[in-house]
Structure 1
Amino acid sequence: MKLLLNVHVIDFQNIGDLCSTPLDYFPFRGYEQQRVDIRELDTWLATDGDRLQDYEQVRIIVGGGGLLFKRFLPAFQQLQTLAPKAQLISWGIGQQLYKTQGDRASFYQQFDYQPYLQGFRFSSIRDVDHPNPQYPWVPCASCLHPAFDQPRPLRHQVVVFSHKKFQLHWRNLPRLTHETQDFNTILDFLASGETILTSSYHGAYWGTLLGRKVLAFPFSSKFHTLKHRPSLYPVDRWRTRQVLGRSWPPRWPWQRPSPQPALTCSIYRWQEWVADIPTYPHALQECRDRNHWYYRQVMES
């Protein structure tokens, strides 16, 4: 009996995380399949970890998503203790450094992947332009979703797709956030715009795969590591939105404390970054081919 365990973020209010697992797109015949939220890995190991000894083979796929982030390093270290009994495989994961000010051109290149990926049998990352050739590029597996094969009409010159925590605000422009749970609804929306303004990594990624122009408003290093890079607006900082001098939405004294309010950024003269946005007509096929290549590497070992 063989086990395939997929460890990633399972967040039903983040469609990018939900669609990033390769288990949704490839057959792994002969394996019992389980999924574990990386945020609950320690609990799973405490309650079910001993069961790993019952399997003749254990493979653990970590990904996809922006899991190379200091919050998740303890989880990677826990997984590393399971090798060599378990074969560790990273798939389409990427770095997260939260920095907008300073040297934007190179800070993401300083990321150290080794503490996360040591002990992995197969290591791939969705990032490019970094000094780590031992980690091949494999983009997010969501490119394999069959919804990308459907024709979708243009309806607007510009649409806005926001990350739920990093909101972009324009008057009179169609707007959606990545909390939307229906993938077809999101692709319909992204494809409806000739140009997409987005603070979502997957909004930028999917918009590019749809052949649209993308202007991204980055809040972490992951936007700089896309192979088919969109235009990047020079965000100085993200801040709590102010309306009439107060944070918005307001919290009154009798209300319970709410989660951290969404942040926003300046969009001053954003039109100047729209004129020369590149498009990548072959990006969808290139990303799919790379995922199929990696699947063969993993399954033929």
Structure 2
Amino acid sequence: MPEIFVVHRRDPHNIGDMACPPSDHVEHFPWLADATTIDIEHDIPRYADRLRHAHVIYGGGGLLGTGFFDRQLDHLLSLRPPKLVVWGAGHNNNERHSIEELQVLDRFDLVGLRDRPGPGGREWVPCTSALLPELDDPGEPRHDVVAYRHRDRKLPFPADLAEFPMLTNGHHDLGETLDFLASGEVVVTNSYHGAYWATLLGRRVVVVDPFASKFHGFRHRVPVVDGRDWRTALADTRTYPDALRECRAAVLGFGDRVRELFGR
């Protein structure tokens, strides 16, 4: 039986990257217990001989239409693995902020995108981190507003948010990160997973100073605004009480289809 590989971006300084592979959830997907999880940026050449004969899951994370992972994805596709699946990956273009259909997706056997259905009508399958048990009981907010920023200090972020509790996606403890997001009635962020997890925790969200297409594909829509306008955008925020249930159902249902495709 072919090996299974999970290919995504494994940046140890970005907690969203590290929390998004399906192979982190073997309690739900025991057939992934022996999967090999590798980094899209560095590991394709190293594992090329094995990838030629493996079933491959591409995702999660912002891996599509990026420009900076195109060469690595082309290399992976050139190896012609027996089965190729996109699972919970999404668009992430820093130049064009629209969600566009990508012809490269036609080269996969099964595609589930974390972006809401758009061009091409691809199936919506959110990040598998929706299965994290820490999302189950967020408790009551302790602050009116918290700020959760991308660790890249070169990215713009509203200076007036410095008066509120703040954390970055470079924080390494996932439990502490989710507790921080849950502590705010409103989460103001320029992090994809900050917005995603805050929504699943039942919090209101404002995305500020979007720098890539990924912020325009949320199934559960949130205001996406210039950082100067975050206070005005509060009037457009809402909670999604069914978001966690909907995301988990979509992830588990898609997992069943991947298992069947892989013959597991």
Q: TM-score, normalised by structure 2?
A: 0.89
Inter-CA distance 60–10: structure 2 relative to 1 (3 Å threshold): same
Letter in 2 for 1:12: P
Shift of 1:231: 1.2
Alpha-carbon distance, 1:279 to partner: 1.2
Match of 1:66 in 2: 62
Q: Which has more radius of gyration? A: 1
Distance 1:277 1:35 in 2: 36
- Written as runs of structure 1 = structure 2, the 5 A alignment for 1:111-260 is 111-115=100-104, 117-133=105-121, 135-165=122-152, 166=155, 168=157, 169=159, 170-217=161-208, 218-233=210-225, 235=226
Q: 1:28 to 1:273 in 2, by over 3 A?
A: same
CA-to-aligned-CA distance 1:237-272 (integer Å, 9 cap, x gap): xxxxxxxxxxxxxxxxxxxxxxxxxxxxxx434311
User: Per-residue displacement from partner, 1:78-109 (whole Å, max 9, x unpaired)?
Assistant: 222232x4211111111112248xxxxxx514
Gaps of 5+ in 2: none
| Matched residue, 2:74 | 77
Distance 1:297 1:42 in 2: 25
Aligned length: 253
1:96 corresponds to: 92
Aligned to 1:50: 49
User: What percentage of residue pairs aligned between the two structures are identical?
Assistant: 38
Aligned mates of 1:200, 1:30 — CA distance in 2? 28
Query: CA 1:29–1:130 in 2, change beyond 3 Å: closer, same or farther?
Result: closer
TM-score (norm 1): 0.79
5+ residue gaps, structure 1, are: 101-106, 236-266
Letter in 2 for 1:130: G
Using a 3 Å threshold, how does the CA distance of structure 1 residues 66 and 269 change in structure 2: closer, same or farther?
closer
- Alpha-carbon distance between aligned partners in 2 of 1:70 and 1:108, rounded to the nearest angstrom: 14
Gap change, CA 1:51 and 1:271, over 3 Å in 2: closer
Q: How big is the shift at 1:75? A: 1.7
**RMSD value, Cα:** 1.9
CA contact (8 A) 1:2 1:30 kept: no
1:108 aligns with 2:98: yes
SS at match of 1:196: strand
Q: In 2, are the aligned partners of 1:164 and 1:177 still within 8 Å (CA)?
A: yes
Question: 1:30 Cα deviation (Å)?
Answer: 7.8
Shift of residue 29 of structure 1? 2.7
Structure 1 residue ranges, 4+ long, deviating more than 6 angstroms after superposition: none
